[in-house]
Structure 1
Amino acid sequence: MIVIHHLGVSQSDRIVWLMEELGLPYELKWHHRMPNRLAPPELLALHPTATAPVIQDGDKTLTESAVIVEYLCHRYGGGRFTVSPDQPNYTDYLYWMHFNNNIMGLFFAKRALGGRTEGDSALWDTLLNRREDRSYHFADQRLANSPYLAGPEFTCADVMAAFTFTSLPLFGGRAVDDLPNVRAYVERLNARPAYRKAMEIAGPGAKPPG
């Protein structure tokens, strides 16, 4: 059985969501953040990269969300929620699969600058904000013409990108109030039974069992 090592209030809740979408059994192991908000040593010890999410499948230990979702869908889901290279929307799938990483890079770069207004810091802050804003508006344009990011069907690209629009604003990320198509998209995701169950189990407001 797949073991999902879940760090509370983190992107690892997307792996729980995917497993619920696939209807596959899994074991969820909670790891609590330390008082400084960092991951605990027992989670970091699972893999040399010391990152979450982490899954264990027998003798395999995997990290990196994009790797995990593709692995699970192809190995246990018969390719569901993926797009193959011979499909016309394959490039869209690739782009939106990695959209979240782009946004997270911008998010942490902005936090490192801390809104500084002097010299090169001010220039970089302006450039980062502009790139972030363009990325979000591009997503809104995409969702004006497609119910899901990779096309008409729900895919792993949605599993990967949703955090950007749903949870990241809770931690100081860009809000989506000015993006009507993104807001409608979030409502569609919230209506999915698997998403609702995953958020109850492992979402930002979830409490560990016991």
Structure 2
Amino acid sequence: MLIVHHLNQSRSQRVLWALEELNMPYQIIRYQREPDMQAPPALKKVHPLGKSPVLEDNGHIIAESGAILEYLQERYDKSHQFRPQEEIDKLQYRFWLHYAEGSLMPLLLMKLIFSRLGKPPVPFGLRTLGNALGKGVQKAYLDKQIATHASFIESQLASRTWFAGEHLSMADIQMSFPLFALLSRGGINALPNIAAWTKRIEMRPAWQRAIQQGGPFEIPGD
């Protein structure tokens, strides 16, 4: 039996969605975030980094969303339904699998961190300075970078239904978390192609089942 170590409001939602798309049976071990939004120490008993998601299968402990999704596709997607076969689509597939966490998500994480420098747990006496610093970094660097990435993704989705061709693939599942984060905290309103893509996701029965299994999925803004 596949076991998913699932942290609420986290990247592990992607793994639940992938398993539902694959119609694979699995067990969920649930963890709740600490008051500071960090993962609980219990996750370090599963993997030394103490992060989620973690997948257990046949004695293997697999961490990192992209690695988990590739493992599931290679091992359980016997009909290659969730990996494209055309060469041009394969290139897109590989790009988006790595781009999601390698390029886009670090910017969105920094955006979240700098937007909270004027709030607890930052010490009270440093919050005014932290707020000014956070706003300055966002205006001078982060917002421009995020806008560039948003424009790039928006243009890519203008000519295709999914990220790696005309069918949903693991690349879409990998991109789901950062794009929901982009819509939540990116500060950009006019992204119709990305918004339409998220609506297509939310209409999929497997996504809906994953939400029922994993619990409410809302990525906090700033």
CA contact (8 A) 1:9 1:204 kept: yes
Per-residue CA distance 1:107-136 (angstroms, 9 max, x = gap): 222344447656xx8367522221111111
Aligned residue pairs, count: 202
Could you tell me which amino acid in structure 1 is paired with residue 88 of structure 2?
A: P
Per-residue CA distance 1:66-100 (angstroms, 9 max, x = gap): 0000101111122431236x622222112211232
2:17 corresponding residue in structure 1: 17
Please tell me whether residue 186 in structure 1 is matched to residue 198 in structure 2: yes
- Give the aligned CA root-mean-square deviation in angstroms: 2.4
Q: CA deviation at 1:51?
A: 1.4
2:92 corresponding residue in structure 1: 92
Compared CA separation, residues 123 and 201, structure 1 to 2 (3 A): closer
Q: 1:132 aligns with which of 135, 146, 161?
A: 146
Q: Percent identity, aligned pairs only?
A: 30
- The answer for unaligned runs of 5 or more in structure 1 is none
Q: Aligned equivalents of 1:96 and 1:109: distance in 2?
A: 20
Q: Structure 1 length normalisation: TM-score?
A: 0.86
Could you tell me which amino acid in structure 2 is paired with residue 67 of structure 1?
A: A
Q: Aligned equivalents of 2:195 and 2:13: distance in 1?
A: 20
Please tell me whether residue 109 in structure 1 is matched to residue 110 in structure 2: yes
Q: Aligned to 2:55, what secondary structure does the other structure show?
A: strand
Could you tell me which amino acid in structure 2 is paired with residue 193 of structure 1?
A: P
Compared CA separation, residues 43 and 192, structure 1 to 2 (3 A): same
Q: 1:141 aligns with which of 129, 138, 155?
A: 155
Please tell me whether residue 196 in structure 1 is matched to residue 197 in structure 2: no
Q: Structure 2 length normalisation: TM-score?
A: 0.81
